[in-house]
Amino acid sequence: MIQTLPLVLSIVMSELAIGSFLLLYVLDWRSEVRRSFLLFFTIIYLLFTALTYLFQQSFASQPLLDSFERLDKQWTGYASPVLLAFLLLLLPYLLFLILDRRAGVDGKEKAAQAGEGQFSVIRVLRLVSGGLASVAGLLMLFVLGMIYRPLAPSPLGEALTVLSFFIAALAVGGVMTSMWLGHWYLVTPALSERPLLFSTAVVLIAIVLQILLTLVSSTVASPATSTAATHSAQATATTIATSPTPAPAVSSAPAAVKPAGAPTVSPLSMGVLGWLRILLGFAFPLVLGALTWKLARERSFQSATGMLYLIVVMTLAGEVLARGMFLSTL
């Protein structure tokens, strides 16, 4: 897992950048948050996407991905161009957001007071550019899924692997935007609770979908894993039976002897990591997310934001564990 850590971080960073912007764009489309919120965090996500692209070029480039035999090399060449396209499409969206003074809920209120509609050419261009960036982000998640799908044990498992990237981006990125939105209520306390309730509900749905996907994936993987283990054992037995017994090598180096009473240190097993992933990625975020939704409904935004901070940390830790365990078979 340590050897595949750069790949894990590249995946999680891509999911975080894309999922965060997708929810931000939906909030923009619904016109329920302030223009200042949209503008500030579009800049933040643009910078983070640029950082993700630089990280990918340094630690998860096509030559590095092609060095792993089990990855689909027909798709490794698309990762960098598609991520770059997502990054570049964020620029016109940011530009039109700067030009559009009636973006967000404040512009909607001004248009209503003036008796005018919210329709404008700049708004259309902003939403179109944001939609194109969203499509590029979704395409990037699809490319990642196609690259890593051969690690799944069956064709159905491959399809579930591709789907897992979309759901993970929705969970990891959604909770990040929700956390920033909850923090923004400290600046605009008069803002309606509807956008925070909506974003929290999106996160809860994503976590539930992750749980269902994990249950289905484990059911699909179990028979295939046991069959693969049986074939591997039979192949090993056949190899041992047909291979000549080599003569024992004589070594002049002294054999390493463990000192008496020395403690035995072993890493965490996959079972322990699996339980950590369930607790950090599913159980705690689901409970805290439900509590966050209740607090937001009662307009207790400061407490809800504190819960969202915890969910962000746990969701990211759970996703890193999940991707690390998935890539451990490389």
C-alpha angle 52/57/62, rounded to 5°? 125
Q: Where are the domains of the chain?
A: 4-221+269-327
Give me the pLDDT at residue 112, please: 61
CB 1 within 8 A of CB 325: yes
d(CA 86, CA 171): 19
Chain centroid, CA 26 distance in Å: 18
**pLDDT (0 to 100) of residue 60:** 94
pLDDT per residue of the chain (330 residues) written in tens, 0 to 9: 678 899 999 999 999 999 999 999 999 999 889 999 999 999 999 999 999 999 999 999 999 999 999 999 999 999 999 999 999 999 999 999 999 988 888 776 666 665 565 668 999 999 999 999 999 999 999 999 999 999 998 999 999 999 999 999 999 999 999 999 998 988 887 788 999 999 999 999 999 999 999 999 888 765 444 444 444 444 444 443 444 545 455 444 444 444 555 454 445 666 788 888 899 889 999 999 999 999 999 999 999 999 999 999 999 999 999 999 999 888
Question: CA 76 to CA 104: how far, in whole Å?
Answer: 38
Domain 4-221+269-327, second-level architecture: Up-down Bundle (1.20)
* Cα gap 86→107, rounded to integer Å: 27
Half-sphere CA count of 327, side-chain side, radius 13 A: 25
Please tell me the number of Cα atoms within 13 Å of 211 on its side-chain side.
16
CA distance 110 to 175: 30
